[in-house]
Amino acid sequence: MTDPVTLASPGLAVTISPLGAELQAVTDERGRDWLWDGDERWWTGRAPVLFPTVGALANATARFGGRDYPMAQHGFARKRAFAVIEQVERSATFRLEADEDSKAHYPFAFRLDVTHQLDGTTLETVSQVTNMGDVPMPAGAGYHPALRWPLPGTGGASRFEHILRFDADEPEPIRGVIAGGLLGGEHPTPIREDTLALHDSLFENDALVLDRPNSRGLWYGVPGQPGVRVDFADMPYLGIWTKPGAGYLCIEPWHSHADDAGFSGEFAEKPGIVTLAPGESRDFAMALTFGVLL
What is the tens place of the pLDDT at every residue in 220-252?
999 999 999 999 999 999 999 999 999 999 999
pLDDT band for position 155 (50/70/90)?
confident
Is residue 2 pLDDT above 80, yes or no?
Answer: no
Look up the domain containing 118 and give its range.
5-292
> How many domains does the structure of the chain reveal?
1
Is the pTM here over 0.85, yes or no? yes
Spatial distance between the Cα atoms of 46 and 285, rounded to a whole number of angstroms: 18
Parallel, antiparallel, or unpaired: how do β-strands 137-139 and 274-276 relate? Answer: antiparallel
From residue 47, alpha-carbon distances to 22, 36, 192 in Å are 6, 8, 28
Neighbours of 42 (CB within 10 A): 16
Q: Which residues pair with 288 in a beta bridge?
A: 123, 230
Tens digits of per-residue pLDDT, 171-216? Answer: 999 998 998 999 999 999 999 999 999 999 999 999 999 999 999 9
Q: β-strand 281-292 against 12-17: which pairing, if any?
A: unpaired
The DSSP-derived string for 54-79 is -S--GGGEEEETTEEEE--TTBSGGG
What is the mean pLDDT of the segment spanning 121-141?
Answer: 98
- Which CATH number belongs to the domain containing residue 288 in this structure? 2.70.98.10
| pLDDT at residue 156, rounded to an integer | 86
